[in-house]
């Protein structure tokens, strides 16, 4: 069964600290993995995409990693800011039956405190 | 370029009523998908439409239905509302079915069923 599991479910950190969010998936066939950021009351916004051949990709203070062998991805946030408080959703794409199917993780809710 | 527009932003209904939500995708986008988001469940996929055809459907009862028009605008209908239908309903569009194509989300419709 195709699944995407994220951990932790929620996280509280102090402003300026780093944190790492985890995403484990059992999706086959695998096309790509994308991290989305969702602010409260808004729709998710794409942060970064990882394909099978990519190990690391950065977007400002956000760095995503992918280990296709262990089927794990992480999102590392450096020098956190109050505006990083949001939910982070891991989404894995699987091309099957002639179209893309997206499998969503439940998300990690991050709270950055001053 | 205008983003994904969802109307209405907020909606209050009572049990047993029906509701119709609207989504206007980004101009030129042919794929529209719908999601239900509740605090404990994360994003749950409802269905996806591509060029007026429902291409994929999640595990929701038949009370949830949708359609897409020739201009790619989409509507979602929920009949015989239940208290558990209270949620944020998100719509997303994408231009193609390429495996690396990201979703563009609207801000959602917050539905409260009393």
Nearest to B99 among A32, A46, A105 (CB): A32
Tell me how far CA of residue A107 lies from CA of A79, A111, A112, B65, in angstroms: 21, 13, 16, 26
What is the per-residue pLDDT for A100?
75
Nearest to B107 among A34, A36, A42 (CB): A42
Q: Give phi and psi for B83, each to the nearest 5.
A: -55, -35
d(CA A103, CA B59): 13
Q: For A41-94, write each residue's pLDDT tens digit.
A: 889 999 999 988 889 999 999 999 999 999 999 999 999 999 999 999 999 998
Please, which residues have CB within 8 angstroms of residue A78's CB and are 6 or more apart in sequence? A18, A61, A62, A63
What is the per-residue pLDDT for B39?
79
d(CA B4, CA B29): 10
Q: Which of A36, A39, A44 to mutate to test the interface with B (most CBs of B within 10 A)?
A: A44
Tell me the average pLDDT across B53-59. Answer: 89
pLDDT exceeds 80 at position B98: no
Question: Which chain A residue shows the shortest CA-CA distance from B40?
Answer: A106
User: What totals of helices (H) and strands (E) does chain A contain, helices first?
Assistant: 0, 11
What is the per-residue pLDDT for B1?
67
**Would you give the DSSP letter of residue B9?**
S
Tell me the average pLDDT across B31-57. Answer: 89
Neighbours of A59 (CB within 10 A): 14
B52 CA: distance to closest CA in chain A (Å): 15
CB contact under 8 A, B56 and A93: no
């Amino acid at each position: 069964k195709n699944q995407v599991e994220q951990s932790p479910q929620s996280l509280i950190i102090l402003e300026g600290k780093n944190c790492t969010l985890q995403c484990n998936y059992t999706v086959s066939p695998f096309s790509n993995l994308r991290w989305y950021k969702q602010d409260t009351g808004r729709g998710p916004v794409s942060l970064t995409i990882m394909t099978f051949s990519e190990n690391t990709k950065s977007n400002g203070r956000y760095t995503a990693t992918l280990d296709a062998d262990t089927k794990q991805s992480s999102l590392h946030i450096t020098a956190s800011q109050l505006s990083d408080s949001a939910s982070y959703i891991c989404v894995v794409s699987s091309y099957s039956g002639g179209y893309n199917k997206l499998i969503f993780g439940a998300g990690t809710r991050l709270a950055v405190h001053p | 370029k205008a983003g994904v527009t969802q109307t209405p932003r907020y909606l209050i209904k009572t049990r047993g009523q029906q509701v119709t939500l609207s989504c206007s995708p980004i101009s030129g986008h042919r794929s529209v998908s719908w999601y239900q988001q509740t605090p404990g469940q994360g994003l749950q996929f409802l269905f996806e439409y591509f060029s007026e055809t429902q291409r994929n459907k999640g595990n929701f009862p038949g009370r949830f239905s949708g359609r897409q028009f020739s201009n790619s605008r989409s509507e979602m209908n929920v009949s015989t509302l239940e208290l558990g239908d209270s949620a944020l309903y998100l719509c997303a569009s994408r231009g193609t079915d390429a495996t690396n194509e990201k979703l563009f989300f609207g801000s959602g419709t917050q539905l409260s069923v009393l």
